[in-house]
Amino acid sequence: MGALAAGSLLTGAASAGAAPAKGTAAEYLVFYAPGARDDALAAIKGAGGTPGAVDAKLGYVLARGAGAGFAERLGASASIVGVTADRRIGAATSLAASGASRTASTSTAAASAATTGAAASTAGADPLSSRQWDMKMIGATASGSYAKARGNKKVLVGIIDTGVDGKHPDIAPNFNRALSRNFVTDRPNDPNGKELDGPCEVKSCKDPADVDDDGHGTHVASTIGSPLNGLGVAGVAPDVSLVNIRAGTDSGFFFLKPVLDALTYAGDAGIDVVNMSFFVDPWTFNCANNPQDSRAEQLQQKGVITGVQRALDYARARGVTLITALGNGSTDLGHPTVDKESPGYPLGGERERKIDNSCVNVPAESRGVISVSALGPSGRKAWYSDYGIEQTDLSAPGGDPSDSGTSLKGNAREILAAAPEKALRRQKLIDASGKPTGPSVVRDCRNGRCAYYQYLSGTSMASPHAAGVAAILVARFGKPGKGGLALAPATVERLLYATATPTACPASGSTRYSVSEETHVCAGSRAKNGFYGHGIVSASRAATVKG
């Protein structure tokens, strides 16, 4: 999406749009129909390609093919259901400040830049808990869920994101290094020579599994499960195990294959809950049969829809509860009409096309996922958050700098969570001495330890609240299983909805957002509507509900 008053939106910032140039060989993920592997291999050869590794779990072949017509030739076979080039195709869904890091805070004033040696934490709270209005909203406080249910180290929460800083002092006590994996090889530049991830930090260009050079994934992990340790902040479920399942690049973009690999690994490793604060595809909306798209583009979108759905189904069948950010497009996903942001790659390739509700945002509108909208501190739907009565399952605090229905100001209206020092230095958000250069970053120092925290907004910040509540439920009701505890995703989903706080649409049925000059209409009842879904997630209710 384009730059707006509060910053640019990342739900369509990068992609894998066009086919390779004529005569240029490229790698494709070729998805075949059930039982049609052999026919697909023959079709690849018949189209002039070379088949490679076969992923029998998700039903696709890695193939090399040359020429702009390779995908179309493949698509002529009844055995092929999708053909997607294995290139950069996704983006993390947090907001970004104009001219700053893509995960930097979007607002300007208010909170102090550093807290060094401040008052000690109160019983059952951490020193910066007073800044966590989000935890108060869902009852994750000393007098709420912390007193009754904090999760369990046997509960494994996977963060499919840009990585997790496993050495961060407010992440490390709960970081499961043994199970963490990185499925991404950084790319210094894109195919056109423009900088993507920048210089590789290690020779192999594949970072260790405890590194986050972007900061997005660390913020998400912190919201889910930063420990109650007398430093900084605490997460929704401060006693769970955090597992980095990295699928995003340093620059915050995602490739299809790492996403598929991450979801498959989550199912195989016994992960209980995964948080997906990203969307996949160069197309903000994936349309399988849009007549305005070329045949190659249709096949590409079918490949993403099919591949991600198969990976989600694989993980869910193995006990993984799937939670995702709804998106920052400020759009009623039940009634989309125009997509002006796609395909976002190669750069400058965007065009306007008419769309309808047959077009979907992946994974937010995929089957079997729990999609979460974002709220500001007043409880109002955040201006940027996507919505829709079919699509919104739950709501949670995600921050909104424009929310005037609260006494909080500026950055204090956003979500505060852990940030990697290295990423902040690169973004020039802290200076050479370690002092924050602005109000979007907070430093907390205790007993010779210092750690950094960042204010961010986005549906990326909302979904980890739901993931944390899901982890509490798994800890309370799960039975011994692979990896530790296990609870059927359908049961987790039922309990999440049952413990959410039902919230009605605005009295007028709509909300006017001055920052975007839009009116968003909320449809549905108090029990289920387009802004809040089944309600606002509640850690305190999850801590006391009877299974």
Widest CA span of the chain, in angstroms? 71
Residue ranges in 147-283 assigned as alpha helix (H): 216-225, 256-269
Joined tokens for residue 347: 């750069």
DSSP single-letter state for residue 240: S
- How many Å apart are CA 336 and CA 356, to the nearest integer? 5
Is-catalytic flag, 520? no
- How many Å apart are CA 517 and CA 407, to the nearest integer? 22
Nearest to 100 by CA among 459, 423, 463: 423
The pairing of strands 449-456 and 415-418 is antiparallel
Among residues 216, 219, 520, 534, the one annotated as catalytic is 216
- Cis status, amide bond into 363, omega within 30 of 0: yes
Which residues are CB-neighbours of 116 under 8 A, at least 6 positions away?
443, 444, 445, 450
Contact 156, 321 (CB under 8 A): no
Is-catalytic flag, 460? yes
Nearest to 541 by CA among 123, 140, 155: 140
Secondary structure (DSSP) of 271-319: -SEEEE-EEESSSSSB-SS-TTS-HHHHHHHHHHHHHHHHHHHHHHHTT
- To 5 degrees, how large is the angle CA 530–CA 462–CA 383? 55
Is-catalytic flag, 339? no
193: left (phi over 0), alpha (psi -120 to 50) or beta: left
DSSP single-letter state for residue 122: P
- How many Å apart are CA 216 and CA 11, to the nearest integer? 14
Nearest to 525 by CA among 431, 392, 420: 392
Buried b (16+ CB within 10 A) or exposed e, 269-293: bbbbbbbbbbbbbbbbbbbbebeeb
Among residues 77, 241, 460, 540, the one annotated as catalytic is 460
The pairing of strands 7-9 and 95-96 is antiparallel
Give me the phi and psi of 367, to 5 degrees please: -75, 145
How far is C-alpha 375 from the chain's CA centre? Answer: 16
Neighbours of 299 (CB within 10 A): 24
Residue found by looking up tokens 């879904």 in the block: 533
Among residues 55, 126, 134, 161, the one annotated as catalytic is 161
- How many Å apart are CA 474 and CA 477, to the nearest integer? 5
Reduced to 3 states (helix: H, G, I; strand: E, B; else coil), residue 216 is: helix
Give, for 463, the enclosing helix (H) or strand (E). Answer: helix 459-477
Computed from CA positions of residues 161, 162, 164, 170, in that sequence, does the dihedral angle turn out positive or negative? negative
Contact 82, 303 (CB under 8 A): yes
Contact 470, 276 (CB under 8 A): no
* Amino acid type, 57: K
Catalytic residues, which ones? 161, 216, 460
